[in-house]
Amino acid sequence: MKALDKKLWRELWQIRMQVLAIAMVIVGGIGIFIMSLSTLDSLYQSRESYYRDYHFADVFASLKRAPLSLASQIAEIPGVAKVETRVVTYVTIDIDGFKDPISGHLISLPTNSGPENSRGLLNQIYLTKGHLLTPGANNDVIISQEFAHAHQLKMGDTLRVTINGRRKNITVAGMAQSPEYIYQIAPGALFPDFKRYSVMWMARKPLASAYDMDGAFNNVTLTLNTGANAQDIINRLDGLLKPYGGIGAYARKDQLSNRFLSEELRQLETMATVFPVIFLGVAAFLLNVVISRLISLQREQIASLKAFGYSNAAIGLHYSKLVLLICSIGIIGGIGVGIWMGKGMSNIYQDFYSLPFLIYFLRPSIIVSAALISILAALMGTLYAVRNAAKLAPAEAMRPEPPTTFRATFLERLGLQKLFSQPTRMILRHIERRPMRSLLSTLGIAMACGTMMIGGFQRGAIEHMVNVQFNVSQREDMQVNFHEPTSLRALYSLHNIQGVEYAEGFRNVAAQLQFEHRRYRTAVQGIQADSQLMRLLNSDIKAFTLPDTGVVITDYLAELLHIKIGDILSIEVLEGRRPSLQVPVVATAKQYLGVNVYIDRDSLNRLLDEDRTISGALITVGENDRNAVYSELKNMPRIAGVIERQSSISTFYDTFAETVLFFTLISTLLGGSIAFGVVYNCMRITLS
């Protein structure tokens, strides 16, 4: 072993605690980089594999009723590869011992002549337990796996459902998942609730018979040929479905479940960019401090080495090797920590997004990139110090380092030194005489504190959003959704239910919004101008009255469309006569959950040229009357589903508890590593 290499290992051991502190910071940066990108790749690869193998559709559309013969015309649209028509409806479900309302999304599966019905042509189900539906077993269904686990259901159990106003007993034949429902959420709900919402699959023949859909369909999905223009096909499809009550086709990117998962992938990309920069920046600073101090203490050794013939390059390489060794320790540890955190996060996402499989996938290029970025950051952070060591002339190095020029500090020049004790004055002198080091040390500790606060901030932010949304803005106890828009007189039926204290109707329509060249698909919600249960909030979280004319849009939607108050918003309604409206934006509303447009309900009815019509109702009930109200609502055939506010919030917190706990643990460990690295190294340098 060369003499310089022996010196290298000896120095590494002598500063082992400082090396450990720096390595911990590098471990944090590498770990979060690998965790984010490996989880991103795992989710993306699993999603794409799931979509491909189970034929997730490219275009979706719902309608009132159309003959099956229309499917051949849809298939003739240029660019369409496959077409599947379905019967889709919403039902209410009863389970013994569970009093809360349960809504179900019932989807038809094709009927075969063989021993089993198929999984479907598109959006095929992934069977996890049981068997596919058997021809002739008209009362058998396949239920979502999450709903079955939430209620501890097993094969052969019986459920009572209300299908088209008729009570019917159905039998659980299997449990499944579907690429169409990775994110399972009831219509009108904001959070998944596996206890109160289920996706179910039933043989097409009995389901079609129950809804007078023999030889007809009310839902269609398509896959497209490679290179096909999705928007052109959607426009052609809308034209075919319009006479049959089509409510607007949409592409995969706008499909609710896929949109949620895509947004999560974008958040992971942001995490993989921001956090490693913080950690590796702190590591580069600490390496600079340690190596600079080490070179300062070894001036005479450097002079002796040069006197014995070692070149500038050899000296520079020696200290560069020391930097690379420290960095390598952090890289090795970071790879292990990153894989551990990546697997843990992948498992959380698999449960939350109802993925049947998630194979952890780590590209070698991620590890190589992490190592190269870390090495580059370390070398750049110590470049100046290593360069000075290499250029130090032997004669100059033999002399002790010139003492630092000391002078009175700013406070002392003001005559304020008597206000402080001697130790305090020493601290203030040190800070003022080394301002850059003090600033960077303070910044490093600030980053550590900020990182540790992320877990608590995340929970606090969620609690604030939920409080504002459900205690200040939406104040109903239950949201009742109808199968179809109905007369405002339906509110009288709700008012007459024993225990219902107050009810307000709302009208929702799907719409395509456009301002200039920007477009966004969402819902236009017509609410009462003097609504007590759905209040619009300004930026100060204060309620304001809905104007008689114009629309109010959420602040986030205004950012997406780059629209401001006074601009004219184009609204293409996607149901009924499908009118195109030009409406001024009169205000923006603060809303943390949802991206919507609000308008006076009566004004919306007039614009749609319909009588006083509502899509559902918001109601408040007495605390002791909820079970009785649930029972009444279950027996009302017009009701497609009921969302109970408090239960939704509780389920949301239960679902996010594991995620928040995991992030809190990770952020605490990573923040602690930064704090330890900065404080320990600064303390050692100061004492030396």
Residue 81: its pLDDT value, please?
93
Residue 506: its pLDDT value, please?
92
Does residue 516 register a pLDDT over 90? no
Does residue 71 register a pLDDT over 80? yes
Residue 120: its pLDDT value, please?
81
pLDDT band at 176 (very low <50, low <70, confident <90, very high): very high
Q: DSSP letter for 119, please.
A: S
Mean pLDDT within 454-473: 76
Nearest to 486 by CA among 503, 502, 507: 507
Does residue 311 register a pLDDT over 80? no
> What does 73-116 look like in DSSP terms, one character per residue?
HHHTSTTEEEEEEE-EEEEEEEETTEEEEEEEEEEEE---SSSS
Answer yes or no: are the C-beta atoms of 224 and 233 closer than 8 Å: yes
**What is the tally of helices (H) and strands (E) in the chain?**
19, 22
Greater model confidence, 76 or 419: 76
Answer yes or no: are the C-beta atoms of 642 and 481 closer than 8 Å: yes
**Could you tell me which residues are beta bridge partners of residue 581?**
571
Does residue 612 register a pLDDT over 80? yes
Mean pLDDT within 459-466: 76
Tell me the pLDDT tens digit for each residue of 120-144: 889 999 999 888 888 877 888 999 9
Greater model confidence, 533 or 5: 533
pLDDT band at 175 (very low <50, low <70, confident <90, very high): very high
Does residue 341 register a pLDDT over 90? no
pLDDT band at 395 (very low <50, low <70, confident <90, very high): low
Does residue 297 register a pLDDT over 70? no
Residue 200: its pLDDT value, please?
92
> Strand 80-86 and strand 140-144: pairing?
unpaired
Q: CA–CA distance from 508 to each of 187, 253, 522, 608 (Å)?
A: 11, 22, 10, 11
Nearest to 340 by CA among 655, 666, 673, 677: 666
3-class DSSP state of 202: strand
Residue 221: its pLDDT value, please?
94
pLDDT band at 399 (very low <50, low <70, confident <90, very high): low
What percentage of the chain reaches a pLDDT higher than 90? 14
Count, residues in the chain: 688
User: Which of 324-338, 351-365, 435-449, 637-651 has the least mean pLDDT?
Assistant: 435-449
**Could you tell me which residues are beta bridge partners of residue 533?**
none
Greater model confidence, 402 or 14: 14
Q: Is 164 left (phi over 0), alpha (psi -120 to 50) or beta?
A: left
Residue 298: its pLDDT value, please?
67
State both tokens at 95. Answer: 């389970």
Residue 75: its pLDDT value, please?
92
pLDDT band at 187 (very low <50, low <70, confident <90, very high): confident
pLDDT band at 417 (very low <50, low <70, confident <90, very high): low
Residue 87: its pLDDT value, please?
92
Q: CA–CA distance from 210 to each of 112, 157, 221, 245, 361 (Å)?
A: 19, 22, 22, 20, 46
- Distance, CA of 223 to CA of 21 (rounded, Å): 54
pLDDT band at 611 (very low <50, low <70, confident <90, very high): confident
- Distance, CA of 351 to CA of 184 (rounded, Å): 12
Does residue 59 register a pLDDT over 90? yes
What percentage of the chain reaches a pLDDT higher than 70? 85
pLDDT band at 117 (very low <50, low <70, confident <90, very high): low
Answer yes or no: are the C-beta atoms of 72 and 266 closer than 8 Å: no
Residue 222: its pLDDT value, please?
93
- Distance, CA of 331 to CA of 468 (rounded, Å): 43
Tell me the pLDDT tens digit for each residue of 583-607: 999 999 988 877 889 999 988 888 8
Residue 272: its pLDDT value, please?
72
Q: DSSP letter for 375, please.
A: H
Residue 86: its pLDDT value, please?
93
Does residue 656 register a pLDDT over 70? no
Greater model confidence, 304 or 89: 89
As to burial, measured by CB atoms within 10 angstroms (0-12 exposed, 13-18 middle, 19+ buried), residue 16 is: exposed
Tell me the pLDDT tens digit for each residue of 196-212: 888 999 988 888 888 88
Answer yes or no: are the C-beta atoms of 234 and 44 closer than 8 Å: no
Nearest to 111 by CA among 209, 181, 244: 209
Greater model confidence, 437 or 250: 250
Residue 320: its pLDDT value, please?
80
Tell me, rounded to whole angstroms, the distance of Cα 14 from its chain centroid. 46
Nearest to 138 by CA among 101, 177, 180, 170: 170
State both tokens at 239. Answer: 């034209």
What is the residue-averaged pLDDT of the chain?
Answer: 81
Does residue 220 register a pLDDT over 90? yes
Residue 404: its pLDDT value, please?
60
> What does 506-527 look like in DSSP terms, one character per residue?
EEEEEEEEEETTEEEEEEEEEE
Mean pLDDT within 25-38: 82
Residue 688: its pLDDT value, please?
61
- Distance, CA of 651 to CA of 653 (rounded, Å): 5
- Distance, CA of 588 to CA of 568 (rounded, Å): 13
The half-sphere exposure of 138 on its side-chain side, counting CA atoms within 13 A, is 8
The amino acid sitting at 339 is I
Mean pLDDT within 344-361: 82
Does residue 249 register a pLDDT over 90? no
Q: How many CB atoms are located within 10 Å of the residue 443 CB?
A: 15
Residue 609: its pLDDT value, please?
85
